[in-house]
Amino acid sequence: MSSQRFPLLARSPRETLIDRELSWLAFNERVLELAEDEGVPLLERCRFLAIFASNLDDFFMIRVATLKRKLENGITQKNTAGYTPTELMAEISRKTEELIARQTKCFHERIMPELNSVGIEIIKWSDLNAEESAYVNQIFQEKIFPVLTPLAVDPSHPFPYISGLSLNLAVVVNQVDASEEDSKLFARVKVPSNLPRFVETSTNRTRRFIPLEQVIVANLEHLFPGMELHTHFAFRITRNADLEIEEEESEDLLASMEQELLRRKFGPAVRLEIDRDIEGELLNTLMEELGVKDHEVSRYQEPLDLTGLNRIADLDFPELKYPVFRNQVHKDLREAEPDSTEAFFDAIKRHEILLHHPYESFNSSVVRFLESAATDPHVLAIKQTLYRTSGDSPIVAALIEAAEAGKQVLAVIEIRARFDEQANVRWARKLEDAGVHVVYGLVGFKTHAKLSLVVREEFGAIRRYVHIGTGNYNPKTARMYEDFGLLSADAVLGDDINKLFNQLSGFAPQTSFSRLLVAPRTLRPGLIERIEREVTNHQAGKPSYIRIKLNSIMDEEFIEALYRASGAGVKIDLVVRGICALRAGIPGLSENITVRSVLGRFLEHSRIFHFAHGGNDELWIGSADLMHRNLDRRVEAMVNINQPDHKRMLIRALDHYLSDTSPAWIMREDGGWHHAVLGPDREPLTDFHAQVTDWYRLRE
């Protein structure tokens, strides 16, 4: 990091920046706090505990794996936050151990007793009565035993491959008729991931569940007949899942991705999860075979793998969940006849439509937009970006239908979308087979922009209809993710998005835009320029402030610019769901900056930028967070919102996020977080997403 380029950051890195990995762990700690919060419905707390566990899996697969590779390569250079890889790994180990202890305590001392009190029990094998034992043993024989495959380890059976995130049993059995020295034999039994994580023990009024691996352990004699069970324990490994593709050297990106996905399965182990009481030769053998060191072993009180708590969270106990949520059709689309594509496009043509999901239906707006385009006889072409979509995507189905009807269809598919690579490869093949023109964007850049373009012939002229948003084209996650999107027939915006699609599918590096800021060329300088303009306006006595809502911020150039603006007296409010490398409220550096984080029922995913602009409020929404990858290594798009009613809507949303009457986590001067759940008069605050849901309902 250049001290000349970023003088404020360079004066003392740990005092001016929070490390990315430690900030992410702080985010996941906030998720854990939701699981610990008795004000959250009980089964939702189970789900948050599962989310916490799943998040931690992802963190080890990507971030810890990358850090481990740095250590193996002998890298000792400090990062921008002032940590060497060795120091950072030690801090990550300390913090994750602390969080795992809290996770365990939350589950065993809080969640389980509360579940018991409402008639839901997670029990051990020893807790089963005779009737339940017989019932579960029958389930084992009929549904579990047929899919189990014990794998022995001996001179003729090498140590088996163990897939990442799989739950396994390490078993040692004694061969009764062998000598003492040769009597102990090792085997591995994989706990099937396609069976329920928790097995219901009966159909009685009290719902009782037992972890699947305990059912298998109780029946090991059926897997090893004639052998004597010596010892066993459950374990789980996490493997490096980061993909490395040299795009410039790849003649076929799709084929290269398929090869890399196969290689991912065999990535090196970065974490071994075991029962906390396990020691001895069996553990040493396992660590040696997996190449795991002592500091990479995480000890839990069983059961392992609490991602399986989603099975419990899905139980039909409405009183233990958030109230039933019903979204609405946007008011401007309600009068469009359901079977009339003409009426739907007319509604967009009358004026732009700003959508707020999940409060306003994604299916009745965005999905209908593309389904209408697929069947409308006047539509000539459809262009669509796809980053993440659902397994049975109606959007992909609409693109295929349009292509089969003879329309020109372009799909820009990002096959490198992390953990969705396999699904996107599959969609790419399916779309190509249907005659869709499939491209993979620009070499060296992920296409993360959320764009849809429909070209329609109307009275002998061409009109473009577009959608641009902050979230993915995924109807399933759109029910749980908070996002904004814009449907528009504005000619200027249509021309902008058409040019951007041409840039993605062809050769147009010098394209300029009117209503868009596009990474990697214009987004960074465009936003920095607007931050600096607020400083100039403040010095001139004009209205000035900056309000930003996003998922993450860690780009040093932006943080430096915000620190400079704060130092000049500009008020800055940030709403950051995840990673935040910026430190708020530090005298002489960031005393005019506040940072809040909102987590809850819905995942806050939208990105909003609000600049006072001397009293003429300027607002942008789009796909980009303030991260190096978004600004420098991705194609991102932000759109200027220029309709007065839409600007008011976004301003009101930001007001709500920043209100003292809205529960949130607030960053302290030391970089820690305070969970503000009491209002100015010390009254408990109503759930944030319930407040917003009520506002949309009452608006009607």
Task: Return the beta strands (E) in 526-670 as ranges.
Answer: 545-550, 571-576, 593-597, 603-604, 607-611, 618-622, 634-641, 664-667
Query: Could you tell me how many helices (H) and strands (E) the chain has, helices first?
Result: 23, 27
Q: Are 44 and 601 in contact (CB under 8 A)?
A: yes
Cβ-contact 115, 47 below 8 angstroms = no
- How far apart are the C-alpha atoms of 8 and 23, rounded to whole Å? 20
Place of tokens 């995130």: 165
Residues 174 and 183: beta-carbon distance below 8 Å = yes
> Virtual CA dihedral for 558, 561, 567, 571, nearest 10 degrees?
-60
Tokens of 285: 């053998």
What residues contact residue 118 under an 8 Å CB cut-off, 6+ apart? 42, 317, 320
Residues sharing a CB contact under 8 Å with residue 485, sequence separation 6 or more, in sequence order: 354, 355, 357, 365, 366, 450, 467, 468, 469, 470, 471
Dihedral, 126, 129, 132, 134 alpha carbons, nearest 10: 90
Specify which residues 603 forms β-bridges with: 481
How many angstroms separate the CA atoms of 224 and 246, rounded?
A: 47
Q: Are strands 228-239 and 150-153 parallel, antiparallel or unpaired?
A: unpaired
- Annotated catalytic residue within 357, 448, 467, 646: 448
Listed in sequence order, the residues at least 6 apart from 80 whose beta carbon sits closer than 8 Å to its beta carbon are 1, 9, 13, 17, 556, 581
**Which residues are CB-neighbours of 14 under 8 A, at least 6 positions away?**
81, 82, 83
Q: How many CB atoms lie within 10 A of CB 174?
A: 16
Is residue 537 within 8 Å of residue 613, measured between CB atoms? yes
CB atoms inside a 10 Å sphere around CB 449: 28
Residue holding tokens 């943080």?
559
What is the Cα–Cα distance from 357 to 473, expressed in whole angstroms? Answer: 12
Cα 566 to chain centroid distance, Å, stands at 31
For residue 354, the surrounding DSSP H or E stretch is strand 353-357
C-alpha span between 596 and 577 (Å, rounded) = 8
* Catalytic status, residue 448: yes
Residues annotated as catalytic (active site), given as ranges: 448
